[in-house]
Amino acid sequence: MNEVIERFLKYVKIDTQSDEDAQTQPSTSKQFDLARLLYKELIDMGAEDVYLDESYCYVYARIPANDGGMRSYTLGFISHMDTSPEASGENVKPRIIENYDGGDITLNVEQGIVLKTSVFPEIKDYIGQSLIVTDGTTLLGADDKAGVAEIMTMAHRLLTDDSIKHGDIAIAFTPDEEIGAGTDNFDLKRFGADYAYTVDGGGIGELEYETFNAASADITVKGVNVHTGEAKNKMINAARIAAEFDSLLPPEQKPEFTEGREGFFHLMNITGSTESASLSYLIRDHDRAKFEAKKALITKLADILNLRYGEGTVTAEVKDTYYNMREKIEPDFMFLVENVSDCMKKLGVEPKIQPIRGGTDGSSLSFKGLPCPNICTGGHNYHGRYEYCCVESMEKICELLVMLTETV
């Protein structure tokens, strides 16, 4: 079995799910389980300056140049260790389907869980190749353990094959990316790269330097609970007001109705009773002006409902998460995108330069002064039980990462 696949199958069995409700970093201590393994593996393979941040759960390492100083800058590679809170990452059971035949894939016979081509038609692009799937009860964790495995495989190859001439290489693995906190305590000085790539994308060929602008919104509704027999002109039903709030948002601006650069409001959670209710939203848009307008609409709707039901009935807390890194990359650093595109073409991969309908650690890192486009990992259907990853794509991406390091 290829090294990158061996690493990937090992890493996905370690539960590293992050917790969006936690107030600490890392948000879950179990992320240290993978961090400590990576730390040991990097030391064992001979990487330099290997460091595990025992406070915040970051792993850093360096691979020294062997090209005699031909490359003047340090290039970095970053992936995140956590998996999404949206689906369980515990007791992941990966399996490889060799020579995929193009039909539906039964993930779990007992529970009737099937990866259907009618729902996920793009899977047919991988006919004749090998796919890694789960048993349908958990996510797979290719987001972003595929990226972790690919970077680790690249590092091992550079450290064991002196014929590959490369400049200084920086490596980092981060916690809590899935909850928007992946770079909160990232040490740019220790990392030491001039430019970097996150390896955190999707299918083979994907290459991105444009992300959403992102914010979260937490809506709280206070009601008045009175016996229904005496409720007239007294009861204020918080659960109904919560539902009313959601109904006032533009119905076409939901993730299930949008694509490309179209932004949305995503209702993540709603709970409620007559006395109290709450809603949690993700707000996304690639366009900064439209993004600001979406945030303003959340506040406006709270004001409208307060006029209707009484001041203080509805409160809205809106918090920015990250911004579109295109603002930082496009003016001066498009050569980073062009380098990946050129390498992909040399490897027979068609580059698919497109906006991310999401975000990466590279979003905030680019705004912190580290230009950081995003490279594919070979995975699909992230954050859920239908997640899968292509073996041949992962192997090709390892070749791509090595090629990017080479001094030519």
pLDDT tens digits, 280-300? 999 999 999 999 999 999 999
User: Residue 407's pLDDT band (boundaries 50, 70, 90)?
Assistant: confident
Choose the final residue of a domain: 321, 347, 369. 321
pLDDT band at 408 (very low <50, low <70, confident <90, very high): low
Q: Do 364 and 269 share a structural domain?
A: no
pLDDT given at position 141:
97
Q: What is the pLDDT of residue 180?
A: 86
Residue 16 has pLDDT above 90, yes or no: yes
Note if the bond before 255 is cis, omega within 30 degrees. no
- Order across the sheet with 95-97: list the strands: 95-97, 131-133, 388-390, 379-380
Shared-domain flag, residues 140 and 59: yes
For 187-245, the pLDDT digits (tens) are 999 999 999 999 999 999 999 999 999 999 999 999 999 999 999 999 999 999 999 99
Q: Which of 53, 177, 206, 361 is catalytic?
A: 177
Write out the binding residues for Zn(2+). 80, 143, 178, 200, 383
Question: Which residue in the list 41, 82, 144, 168 is annotated as catalytic?
Answer: 82
Task: Check whether residue 315 and residue 328 sit in a common domain.
Answer: no
CATH assignment of the domain containing 310? 3.30.70.360
Alpha-carbon distances, residue 110 vs 114, 115, 240, 271 (angstroms): 11, 14, 38, 31
Per the document, the length of the chain is 408
> Are 328 and 280 part of one and the same domain?
no
Examine the domain organization and report whether 52 and 84 are in the same domain: yes
123-138 pLDDT tens trace = 999 999 999 999 999 9
Q: pTM of this prediction? A: 0.88
Averaged confidence pLDDT in the chain: 96
Query: Do 237 and 350 share a domain, yes or no?
Result: no
Residues 274 and 336 in one domain: no
55 and 30 share one domain: yes
Residues 195 and 257 in one domain: no
The position carrying tokens 């030391």 is 43
Domain span at 308: 213-321
**Structure confidence at residue 357 (pLDDT):** 87
Q: Which of 321, 353, 378 is the last residue of a domain?
A: 321
For position 356, what pLDDT does the model report? 86
- Asked if residue 378 lies in contact with residue 146, where contact means CB atoms within 8 angstroms, the answer is yes
Q: In the predicted model, is pLDDT for residue 106 greater than 80?
A: yes
Tell me the CA distances in angstroms from 192 to 78, 214, 216, 283, one per residue in order.
12, 27, 31, 33
33 in catalytic set = no
For the question of residue 82 being annotated catalytic, the response is yes
Mean pLDDT (whole number) for 30-58:
98
Residues 267-282 have a mean pLDDT of: 96
Inform me whether the pLDDT recorded for 1 exceeds 90.
no
Regarding whether 163 and 120 lie in a shared domain, the answer is yes
DSSP state of 166: B
Domain-ending residue, one of 321, 353, 382:
321
Q: What are the helix and strand counts (H, E) for the chain?
A: 10, 18
Indicate if 190 and 221 belong to the same structural domain: no
Per cent of the chain over pLDDT 90 is: 95
Query: What is the structure's pLDDT at 360?
Result: 86
Domain count, the chain: 2
Question: Using 50, 70 and 90 to split pLDDT, how confident is the model at 69?
Answer: confident
Euclidean distance between the first and the last CA atom of the chain, given in angstroms as a whole number: 30
Write the CATH number for 52: 3.40.630.10
Residue 164 sits in the same domain as residue 146? yes
Confidence band for 18, pLDDT divided at 50, 70 and 90: very high
Known binding-site positions: 80, 143, 178, 200, 383
Rounded Cα–Cα distance for residues 88 and 380 (Å)? 17
